[in-house]
Amino acid sequence: MNVAEQPEFVNLPGFTAFEPLWAEFSRLHSQWLRERLSENEVVYRLPEKALDLLEANLQLDADDLAAEVVYDRLCLRFKAIGAWNNRPILYRWLLPALAPFPKALIESMTSLGWKPEQLPKVVVMVQIGGDVSERLQSVAGRRICNPFFLDEVDRLRNAWRSLADAERPSLPLARTPGFQQIPDCLEGTRTTEALADFLKAFDQFCDRWCLLGMVTWDLPDPDGPKWPEPTRCPQGSRAEALTFRTPVDFPLLNSDRLGEIARDQHAASAERSGITDIKRWETYARLLEIDHWERVLRTRYADAARPRNYVTFLAATIGQVIDLDAERVQEYRKQLRALKSGRRSLLSPRH
């Protein structure tokens, strides 16, 4: 798609500052952007620290390197992993790890009136959120390793692409909201049969795979556990009667404080579903990262001559991005290929 032919940018809450910066980037690096858009519908960022290896192995010129640096910094400024249709795409698990709760932020919160006894609670909440987020990343990793999931994604992507431009839903794709009453802003709108069929199929897909949606067609957005606070249950109700919903492949830890019975029931449910490697969730989280960065590297500069040791280059570059030894990356890649091809349905015991 030619840069000049791209649809006009639509402002979204929190992203209004992105528009002028994107317009400037598109103007200064129009050739680079045209080439990247011809490779993939989503232009993902390439971390700046990997560019030395790309320059040495793919013979990138100064213009390409300059564009990559600027693009990576632009994405990181908006906590984005890339852009689609002139807007940033957010996916927290493929961004650099967040720093510990900074002292400067605590000082700023104090100056805004936060009480000293409130601050430790905020720190704990941030830590809990990070802990749950890491395990949700493993659920996303399981999805992209499943060949049946990948087949469904391909079919839905083709159906999405076949929709008319004017009715094609934007990325990220979220399941259809269930309105009890149609909002005023949607009154009088009409949905074509093709779009209605797509939305129905997409909602059913999200139900089957326990998803909130797809951030891009490469990256699933898994639904997380629903754990109500017993201390907030309605007056007169029994805390033990509250419903705790946990996706079957979401790993539970002692720190979740759900109790031994809940953990045992969840473990039994996972085993009945054939998920006997649920304790190895950190590996699946890694596989999500490795799968993404390999896809980005393979599609970026696809016309460039590949070095003779291309697989070694891939492993070294991925390792540079995710701070992992290249030999270890190779081991993970073998697991990933076995799972995605269907040769294995679980991680190999020796890994």
User: DSSP letters along 185-228, please?
Assistant: GGTT----HHHHHHHHHHHHHHHHHTEEEEEETTEEEE---B--
DSSP letter at 236? T
**Six token digits for residue 181:** 């009453």
Q: How confident is the model at residue 120 (pLDDT cuts 50, 70, 90)?
A: low
**What is the torsional sign of CA 181, 186, 190, 192?**
negative
Tell me which residue of 34, 114, 39, 96 sits closest to 67, measured CA to CA.
Answer: 34
At 241 the pLDDT is 46
Mean pLDDT, residues 141-151 taken together: 97
Q: How far is CA 39 from the centre of its chain?
A: 20
Q: What is the pTM of this model?
A: 0.83
Most confident of 12-21, 100-109, 185-194, 333-342: 333-342
Contact 153, 214 (CB under 8 A): yes
At 138 the pLDDT is 95
Q: How confident is the model at residue 111 (pLDDT cuts 50, 70, 90)?
A: confident
Q: What is the pLDDT of residues 150-166, one digit of tens each?
A: 999 999 999 999 999 99
Beta strands in 3-144 (DSSP E): 43-44, 82-84, 87-89
Percent of all residues in the chain with a pLDDT value above 70, rounded to a whole number: 80
